Amino acid sequence: MKIENLKGFDIVGNIAILKFSRNMKGKEKKKIAEKLLKKNPTIKTVLEKTGKFKGRLRKQQTKHLLGIKTKEALYRENECVFRFNVDKTYFSPRLSNERKEIASKIKKSSKVLVMFAGVAPYSIVIAKKSKAKVYSAEINKEASKYAKLNVELNKLKDNVQIIQGDIRKTVKKILAHSRSQINKKISKQNYLLNKNYVESRAGRRLGVISNRVSDNERAIKGGVIVRGTLVPHEFDFIVMPRPQLKESFLKEAFSLSKKNTVVFYYDFCKEEEIPSVKKKINEEAKKSKKKIKILNVKKAGEIAPYKFRVRIDFKVL
Ligand SMILES: C[S@@+](CC[C@H](N)C(=O)[O-])C[C@H]1O[C@@H](n2cnc3c(N)ncnc32)[C@H](O)[C@@H]1O
232 touches ligand 1 (CB under 6 Å) = no
Separation of CA 283 and ligand 1 centre (Å): 24
Whether residue 17 contacts residue 9, with contact meaning beta carbons closer than 8 Å, is answered with yes
**Residues 162-194: tens digit of each pLDDT:** 999 999 999 999 888 766 665 666 566 655 655
58 touches ligand 1 (CB under 6 Å) = yes
In percent, the amount of the chain with pLDDT more than 90 equals: 75
Contacts (Cβ under 8 Å, ≥6 apart) of 186: none
184 touches ligand 1 (CB under 6 Å) = no
Q: What is the pLDDT of residue 216?
A: 37
**Residues 20-44: tens digit of each pLDDT:** 988 889 999 999 999 999 999 999 9
Alpha carbon distances (Å) from 314 to 134, 167, 191, 240, 256 = 19, 20, 41, 12, 14
CA 221 to chain centre: 22
127 touches ligand 1 (CB under 6 Å) = no
Q: What is the pTM of this model?
A: 0.87
One-letter identity of residue 304: A
Overall average pLDDT of the 259-275 stretch: 97
Separation of CA 210 and ligand 1 centre (Å): 43
pLDDT at 14 over 60: yes
Spatial separation of the C-alpha atoms in residues 114 and 238, rounded to whole Å: 6
117 touches ligand 1 (CB under 6 Å) = yes
**Hey, whose CA ends up nearest to atom 16 of ligand 1?**
56
For residue 92, the ligand 1 atom closest to its alpha carbon is 9
Separation of CA 110 and ligand 1 centre (Å): 22
95 touches ligand 1 (CB under 6 Å) = yes
Contacts (Cβ under 8 Å, ≥6 apart) of 228: none
SS3 labels along 11-37: EECCEEEEEECCCCCHHHHHHHHHHHH
**Pairing of β 292-304 and β 307-316:** antiparallel
Whether residue 116 contacts residue 243, with contact meaning beta carbons closer than 8 Å, is answered with yes
Whether residue 33 contacts residue 11, with contact meaning beta carbons closer than 8 Å, is answered with no
122 touches ligand 1 (CB under 6 Å) = yes
Separation of CA 205 and ligand 1 centre (Å): 51
How many H helices and E strands in the chain? 8, 15
pLDDT at 227 over 50: yes
**Hey, whose CA ends up nearest to atom 4 of ligand 1?**
118
Spatial separation of the C-alpha atoms in residues 4 and 21, rounded to whole Å: 9
For residue 266, the ligand 1 atom closest to its alpha carbon is 1
237 touches ligand 1 (CB under 6 Å) = no
252 touches ligand 1 (CB under 6 Å) = no
Choose which residue among 59, 82, 90, 126 to substitute to test ligand 1 binding: the one with the highest number of ligand atoms within 8 A of its C-beta.
90
For residue 116, the ligand 1 atom closest to its alpha carbon is 12
Cβ atoms within 10 Å, residue 189: 15
**Residues 126-145: tens digit of each pLDDT:** 999 999 999 999 999 999 99
More confident residue, 90 or 222: 90
Nearest Cα to Cα of residue 209 among 195, 224, 229, 230: 195
Spatial separation of the C-alpha atoms in residues 88 and 143, rounded to whole Å: 7
